[in-house]
Amino acid sequence: MTDLAGGLSAEDAKLVTLARATRARTGAAEGAAVRDADGRTYAAATVDLPSLRVSAVGVCVAMAVASGAKGLEAAVVLTDAARLAEADLAALRDLGGAGVVAHRGDPRGAVLESTTT
């Protein structure tokens, strides 16, 4: 696959930066960032505790909901996984509906593919 980062909007490139910094800071398996319908951003890392497991996207969506977001515009997930998890896409759809742009990139921040919910 090719690095699509050069083709991202400035707002989506910011999400890549936020996801990369969050993942690097925590050493988590995944880093993610989302932008809500008002332009606010939320960044998070995977939570993997003995009693609580939440994907990075799940944490971002939960933060957006807790902050009163009414929708989502875009998301970035930096991961070693070969594709975005269906549960993450479902969470993005739950809050954002159809048409949320979701970018998957490698842990260094190279965007490998983009899809929409």
Which domains, from first to last, does the chain contain?
5-116 (3.40.140.10)
Percentage of the chain modeled with pLDDT above 90: 92
* 73-115 per-position pLDDT tens digit: 999 999 999 999 999 999 999 999 999 999 999 999 999 999 9
pLDDT at position 117 over 70:
yes
Residue 110 identity (one-letter amino acid)? A
Under the banding of pLDDT at 50, 70 and 90, the label for residue 6 is: low
Q: What is the reported pTM?
A: 0.91
Compare 97 and 5 and report the one with higher pLDDT.
97
Tally the residues of the chain: 117
pLDDT at position 5 over 50:
no
Can you tell me the distance from the alpha carbon of 75 to that of 104, in angstroms, rounded to the nearest whole number? 9
Can you tell me the distance from the alpha carbon of 29 to that of 45, in angstroms, rounded to the nearest whole number? 8
pLDDT at position 3 over 70:
no
As given in the structure block, the two tokens for residue 80 are 């070693």
Instruction: For residue 91, give the nearest of 110, 64, 111 by alpha carbon.
Output: 64
As given in the structure block, the two tokens for residue 44 are 């998070």
pLDDT at position 2 over 60:
no
